[in-house]
Chain A
Amino acid sequence: MNDMQFLTWVRGPGLDIAVGIFLLGVFWRLFEIYSLGRKKDLSAPRSVSGASGWHTIFRRSLPPEGMLGKSPVSYIGGYTFHIGLAIVVFLFAPHILLIKNLTGLSWPGLPSQFVDLVAVVTLAAMVVVLVDRINKPVKRYLSTFGDWFTWTLTFLPVLTGWMAVQHLLLPYTTMLAIHILTVELLLVFLPFTKLFHAFTAFGSRWYNGAVNGHKGVAV
């Protein structure tokens, strides 16, 4: 298989397989989790404005009182790479074009140089949070194979995408094919690893906010 055949495969059958596993996986996992249901709370509710599942979905995006100072790397590093990933994935013109071809949906992108810069900042932030995971006793203690694996799965598409655009190390075609392959790996594993928090974090925040909101506590 030469470079062109490799690229054709990852763009064709490879992408179909990956997107298929991703979509089926996401639907299955969401069903598997949320179909467990929960019991109705029979205690008399205390209604307080600002205390609900929906409020918590938004409120929990900000650090609670006193927490930013306790773990600045988690918060600043976390914000940086999450926002960075969102910009790189959804606001880079070639990505928007791909999404348009797949779904017909389209929106304006950001200048390529700016996205380049964001990619570098994102990679740097990811390295920082990795070092933090290795250095901080609690993070290291909690870490399993899944943590290192998912970090790699997330890091590689950004790195290879940036390298492809910069024409670094390998010919563009090869690097682009590798980039697409790493994205496909990410899609395949996302529903079955902790990366699935991209979907469940909203449900979790909602439950937490609803359970405590029932008591009139805005969490």
Chain B
Amino acid sequence: MSASLEKGVRVLKEVIDAPIASYFNSCVHCGLCAEACLFYTETGDPKYTPIHKLEPLRRIYEQEYTLLGRLGKTFGLSKPVTDAELAEWQELVYNSCTLCGRCSVVCPVGNDIVYMVRKFREGMSAAGHAPEGIKGAVNRTITIGSPMGVKLPAVKAQMKHVEADYGLPIPLDAEGAEYMVMLSSMEIINFPEYLGAIAKIMHQAGKSWTLCSTAFEATNAGMQIGNSDLARVLVKRIVDGAERLRVKTVISPECGHAYTALRWEGANLIGRPFTFAVKHIIEVLGEFQKQGLLKTEGFETDRLTFHDPCQLARRGGVIQQQRDLMNQVAQNFVEMPEAGFMNWCCGGGGGASAIEEGEALRLEAFKKKKSQLDAVKPDRLVTACANCRIVLEEGLEHYQMNIPVVGLTEMIAEHIPEPSAEKGA
């Protein structure tokens, strides 16, 4: 057994807990989870059945934690997990799983399959079987500070542009601010409108906010690859920044996995509860809306639909707010079939979009989103995750569908009266 495989197997043994043991014992091989997975429904290949993606983990469980399995192992009757097998499973655990969690909500015996995939990735990553694309993203985040190689000067440059364009200050390292706003690299590079939108929204709501020079990047590739040690380093940066600035709330940007990493995994990664709250920007906007702090004028009149990022909705519990926000600024908002809790993934979550060799499969899986869109034929598609947005744009272009994709926060901000106009009024 190679040293890396040994390490991987050790990690797999460590991640197995009572829920996983219960799940493996409950599976009756009904295959219903396949019907919930877009990688199966769009390819028809049974190897993409979610529970099958966990087969090596199941065998380790059986061989290490059951009496009969241990007996079998002692007498050489069981099939050990090998490097070659884990290499083969890389495609199943990373390329064809976006951690969307749809399988976990349909399993009739109640197995939380995505919970197990997330844990399985810990062992895969330790054994050296994570895809190069995500490995690169993790390395850049650890060494440079962001998965796309964005450094503080790039953020500062963008802050200047936005200040000039919007005529509003972008605070940096403001101690005691109520909100600390996080960004994703994708937003810094591709969607600078997000920062401007935040400035307008906060200005109107009369809230104090700040960016943090030591923690501006919210995404957590460590979590996506399944390496808790690295994920912890990234979360710790944010925790240190938030505690140094003594903010009440950290706002996770329009990025699904950043939210899961910080909101649900963060405290567990650092081993203690946070001293601040974590909210997705859509939750914050929802609160402002309820408190009457979000005043907009005018409406979008074209036909709009909303793509629910999995980590925000099904995996994060934020489902109604985006709909209330859409209705505030859109006259013609239509829902795709199975929208909300049961929404289908864009196909690129969970780090999948960073895997170059997974592109063909990703585009194949995108046919599910295509069919959802074909059912309502929107003029534009609104979402609240920069990664979904990029993946959606790629898929739409591939299938030659002319549907622009916009971020919800920016769309809301466009309907907020200009600060100068307010003063004049």
Partner-B contacts on A (CB < 8 A):
28-29, 32-39, 41-44, 46, 48, 51, 56-57, 60-61, 63-67, 70-71, 74, 78, 136-144, 147, 192, 194, 196-197, 200-209, 211-212, 214-217, 219
Q: How far is the CB of A212 from chain B (nearest CB, A)?
A: 7
Specify which of B18, B31, B65, B316 lies most central, judged by the most chain A CB atoms within 10 Å of its CB. Answer: B31
Pairs A–B under 8 Å by Cβ, sample size 14: A42-B267, A42-B272, A43-B263, A44-B278, A60-B109, A60-B110, A65-B338, A78-B30, A138-B46, A141-B49, A201-B26, A204-B26, A207-B110, A208-B19
Instruction: For B268, list chain A residues within 8 Å (CB).
Output: 39, 41-43
The interface size bin for chain B is: 35 or more
Residue of A41, A64, A78, A211 touching B342 (CB-CB under 8 A): A64
Decide: A138 and B18 in contact? CB cutoff 8 A.
no
Q: Are A70 and B273 CB-contacts (below 8 A) given A212-B112, A215-B315?
A: no
Instruction: For A28, list chain B residues within 8 Å (CB).
Output: 67
Sorted from nearest, which 9 A-B pairs have the closest CB atoms? A205-B110, A216-B317, A141-B46, A138-B31, A42-B267, A207-B19, A204-B110, A201-B109, A142-B29
A144 to B59: give the CA distance in the assembly, Å. 13
Specify which of B29, B49, B110, B272 lies most central, judged by the most chain A CB atoms within 10 Å of its CB. Answer: B110
Instruction: For A192, list chain B residues within 8 Å (CB).
Output: 68
Decide: B315 and A194 in contact? CB cutoff 8 A.
no
The verdict on B264 contacting chain A, using a C-beta distance below 8 Å, is yes
The verdict on B288 contacting chain A, using a C-beta distance below 8 Å, is no
A71 to B68: give the CA distance in the assembly, Å. 33
Decide: B30 and A139 in contact? CB cutoff 8 A.
yes
Instruction: For A42, list chain B residues within 8 Å (CB).
Output: 267-268, 271-273
B380-405: CB near A (< 8 Å → 1, else 0) gives 00000000000000000000000000
- Residue on A with the closest CB to B263? A43
Decide: B25 and A200 in contact? CB cutoff 8 A.
yes
Decide: B274 and A207 in contact? CB cutoff 8 A.
no
Q: How far is the CB of A18 from chain B (nearest CB, A)?
A: 18
Residue of B49, B106, B274 touching A64 (CB-CB under 8 A): B106
A147 to B27: give the CA distance in the assembly, Å. 11
The verdict on B166 contacting chain A, using a C-beta distance below 8 Å, is no
Decide: A142 and B46 in contact? CB cutoff 8 A.
yes
Decide: B271 and A217 in contact? CB cutoff 8 A.
no
Residue of B17, B44, B278 touching A37 (CB-CB under 8 A): B17
Instruction: For A51, list chain B residues within 8 Å (CB).
Output: 317
A36 to B17: give the CA distance in the assembly, Å. 5
Specify which of A63, A64, A204, A205 lies most central, judged by the most chain B CB atoms within 10 Å of its CB. Answer: A204
Decide: B49 and A138 in contact? CB cutoff 8 A.
yes
A141 to B48: give the CA distance in the assembly, Å. 11
A74 to B272: give the CA distance in the assembly, Å. 43
